[in-house]
Each structure stands twice: as C-alpha cells, then as structure tokens.
Chains A and B, each alone.
Chain A
Amino acid sequence: MQGPSTKSFRQAFLENLLVSLQLQQEHTSKHDSSSVGAAMSLHERKLAVKSSADVAMAAARGAGARWTRAILAPASSACKVQRCRRIVIRCRGRKRSLTTRSARAGDGGTSSGGEIARRLVSRRTMALREVIPGGRDAAVDEATLLREAMDYVVHLRAQVDVLRQVSEAVQRSGSSILQVLIRGLVAYVKKRET
C-alpha cells in the first residue's frame, strides 16, 4: 500500500510525536501555576496531545494520500504557539508535491446499471466520508475514498500502537517520580506517628 515499510513510518511518527510532546512540556513548565490562565487545563493538554498525534501521523505518512493534507492544512493555520507552528511546517516540508490520486469518473454516457450501482455505493460511503479526514470533499470519488480508507486504517492502527508504547514508557519513567514522592509521604507520616 505505501512505498516505505511500516517500520520507517512508525519511527518518523514517534520522532514527530516526541518532539511535539517535548515542546508541550516546555511550554507548560515556562508558565508557573500562579499565573492564572497560562497553565493548561488537563482537557487542553489532552487536546494538544491528540492533535500532536494526528499531525505527527500525517507528517510521517508523507505524500501520496489525501487524508494527510486534510489533517495538516488546518493544523498549521490553527497553531498558535510559534515553535509548534514551525514543527508542522517542517514536517510538511518532508512531503514532495502532493499529486492527487483521485480520478474523476468519466462523464460520458453511462449504462444505467452501472450508474445506479455507483449511486448506491455513494449512499453507503456517506458514513465513511465522515470519519476519514478529507473524505467530505465531494470531489473524492468512491474508488479514491476506499483507497484512502485502507491507507488511513493502516496508519491509524500504527498510531494507536505507538501511542500505547509511549504511554507505557512515560508511565514507567514517571512512576518513579511518584514512587519517590509517595515514599516520602509514607516516611513523613511514620515520623509524625512516633
């Protein structure tokens, strides 16, 4: 389906993701908790992580699919943090010229049977268009949509896998900080009791 192996995609995705997460951490630690409104709420953090994951996935995919453009274009313009914006633009630079693969169905006379079949399929693909980035574009014909769906599913699965690995890694390293704090708490409580 895609030229490069999935492994190189995962590596590129991981790299992009970690850079974004690092930026996010730096950004939040720059604002101390006393300045109201500067610190990110947990919900905002979650949205930032999610958007980083999508941008990282789309950028790592590179050229050759429509859904990547659908993710990257609005992300680049919506990015308020200057450094974050540069990341998106830098990732985008990895892609060569994006040639659309959608071939419009011919507009010559069509057999009624074929045309009806295509209209039926297009009703069925309506739901699919809603979940695939860029799928809502009417210019995307059914065949292209199906190819996009296949490509998107493969990369979504990799996104889930990598996110899980990253969470587990952070949990392993992060829990040590919690353990130190909890051990300190236990020692403190014991001291109070004696």
Chain B
Amino acid sequence: MSSRRGRITDEEINELISKLQALLPESSRRRAASRSSASKLLKETCGYIKSLHQEVDDLSDRLSELMSTLDDNSPQAEIIRSLLR
C-alpha cells in the first residue's frame, strides 16, 4: 500500500471499515445490517479483539499449568510425588 500524503477521504475510511467488517466473526456479521453504522462496527471490532485477548490469556494459563506438570521441580510435580511416598 503506497503511503499517501494529503487528506484521507471519508470514502477511504468507509472502505476500510467495511473491510474490517468482513473480518468479524459470522455471528456478529449476521446480526448487523449490511449498513451498520461505522461506530457500531468499530465497537464490535473492539469487543472481538478483547475476546481474542481473553482466549490468549486462558490458553496461556492452560499451557503454563501443563508445562509445570512436566517440570520436575514444580510444586505441582512435588504434590504428585508426595502422594506416591
């Protein structure tokens, strides 16, 4: 994309917003009318990004827990060992 000097037109903004809409999940696309207001779409994008962040957070939780069970020195592994004594 070439960098453009000068005013960004409202058309360009609208075009970008509709491209963004195409990225949102199906469910929110169906809910929104084809002529959703720009601000609605921006809000939805915000919400979508936040939900993706939350998924990453949950998966990081899960992954770090799993990794600690693999680690010999973790308290979790120690608990398991103490059960076997």
Residues of A that sit less than 8 Å from B by CB:
21, 24-25, 28-29, 31-33, 39, 42, 45-50, 53, 99-106, 108, 110, 114, 117-118, 120-121, 124-125, 127-128, 130-132, 141-143, 146-147, 149-150, 152-154, 156-157, 159-160, 163-164, 166-167, 170-171, 174, 177-178, 181, 184-185, 188
**Which residues from chain B sit less than 8 Å from chain A, CB to CB?**
1, 3-10, 12-13, 16-17, 19-20, 23, 38-39, 42-43, 45-46, 48-50, 52-53, 55-57, 59-75, 78, 80-81, 83-84
Q: Is the CB of A153 within 8 A of B23?
A: yes
The smallest C-beta distance from A50 to any residue of chain B, in angstroms, reads: 4
Are A46 and B1 CB-contacts (below 8 A) given A105-B7, A143-B8? Answer: no
A142 to B7, CA, bound (A): 11
B3 touches A153 (CB 8 A): no
For residue A52, give the distance in angstroms from its CB to the closest CB of chain B.
Answer: 9
**Cβ-defined contact, B75 with A33, below 8 A:** yes
Q: What residues on B are CB-neighbors of A50 within 8 Å?
A: 56-57, 60
Whether A106 pairs with B13 at a CB distance below 8 angstroms is no
A114 adjacent to B10 (CB under 8 Å): yes
Residue in chain B with minimal CB distance to A50: B60
CB within 8 Å for A156 and B7 given contacts A33-B75, A147-B16 = no
Chain A interface mostly helix, strand, loop or mixed?
A: helix
Q: Is the CB of A42 within 8 A of B68?
A: yes
Contacts A163-B59, A167-B63 given; does A117 touch B10 at CB 8 Å? yes
Instruction: Say yes or no: B42 contacts A125, CB within 8 Å.
Output: yes
Contact (A142, B8) CB under 8 Å given A31-B73, A147-B1, A157-B52: yes
| In contact, A160 and B67 (Cβ under 8 angstroms) | no
Q: CB distance A45 to B64 under 8 Å?
A: yes
Instruction: Identify which of A33, A142, A149, A152 contacts B73 (C-beta below 8 A).
Output: A33
